[in-house]
Every structure is written in structure tokens, then in C-alpha cells.
Amino acid sequence: MSGIVAKWTIDEYHRMIDAAILSDRKVELLKGEIVEMSPEGEPHAYSSGEAGDYLAKLLAGRAKIRQAKPITLPNNSEPEPDIAIVQPLGREYRQHHPYPKNIFWLIEYANSSLEKDLETKSKIYAEAGILEYWVVNLKKLHLVVYREILDGEYTTKQTLTGGIIQLLAFSDVSVAVEQIINS
């Protein structure tokens, strides 16, 4: 018997959440599959928290920093990126999680989830039209920046260990890579 996987829609996934079927599990929906999320170790929690605080100060009034909260994508995905930099739409997010049109860029911190973040999630985010996606490799303490989408995939991938990066969404804002890596 082949390994057939049941695929779920976002509506079905929300009904499971509302029915508390998934209440004791840390999961996210990726391309219709309910996937277990890796537990957050101390370096992950520290670095993503510090980076979130830094970005909140840097982008005050211009963007909302959402940490470990769902985003809703059209490819039957509802991941929970470590940091989502989104439009500050206030109470509108009581009605829906941010959609791709609301997202400036996403950041994932990866240790045990590195392969999932570099491979699976980069494809999901590019397919959904997220213009910029960053992965912090906590093992090697470097930042991988994905940009420029062509045919549903990122075409540029840059690895940084320091310096300054200019944002696509806010060209007048410079981000210190060290503040994101928190080495």
C-alpha cells in the first residue's frame, strides 16, 4: 500500500482548531498537510525575541511584528513563522490572519527545522508571492536571504554573517544583520 496522505483545506484546518482537535499539538498547515512543529530551544526563543524587539523599534508605526502567529496563504498553508513583518491593520486581524498582500517579509529561526525552513517553506512562501524571506541558521549563526521570485521559486539566495541589509519593503531602512542573528 502506498503512503497516501490526506490533504486538508484551510477551512477544514480551522474547523479542527475550533473543535479543539489539535489543541494539545503544536502544528502548522503546509500545502494541505498538518505538520508537527519543532520545539523551541533557548537560542531560538532568545534570538527571535530579541530580533522581534529590534524590528519593532526600527519599524515603529510602519509595520506590525507578529511573533509565532499564523499567516494564511492561498496554497492551503497556514504556517506560523517565527517573525512576520506585516501591515499594521489593527483589528482587521481579528477577522483573518495576514494574507500575502499584508506581508512585507518573513523570518524563520532554524536549528532542528533547518531543512524544512530552507527547502519546504521557501517554496511555499515563494509560491504565495512573499517577496522576501529570511532564515537564521542557529547552528552556523548566519542569515540566508531569499528574494526575487520567478515561476514560484526564489531565484536569489544570499548568505550573510554580518553587515547591513536594505529591505525591499522599506528601502530607507537598514537592518544590522548581527541584530537579527543575535550571535
Domains, the chain, ordered by start = 38-181 (3.90.1570.10)
pLDDT of residue 183: 54
Res. 54 pLDDT band, cuts 50 70 90: very high
pTM for the model stands at 0.91
Is residue 3 predicted with pLDDT exceeding 70? no
| CA distances in angstroms from 176 to 35, 108, 143, 162, 180, listed in the order given | 32, 17, 11, 7, 7
The lowest-confidence range among 25-39, 57-71, 72-86, 167-181 is 25-39
- Residues 6 or more apart whose CB falls under 8 angstroms from that of 89 comprise 64, 98, 102
* Segment holding 84, helix H or strand E: strand 83-86
3 φ, ψ to 5°? -80, 80
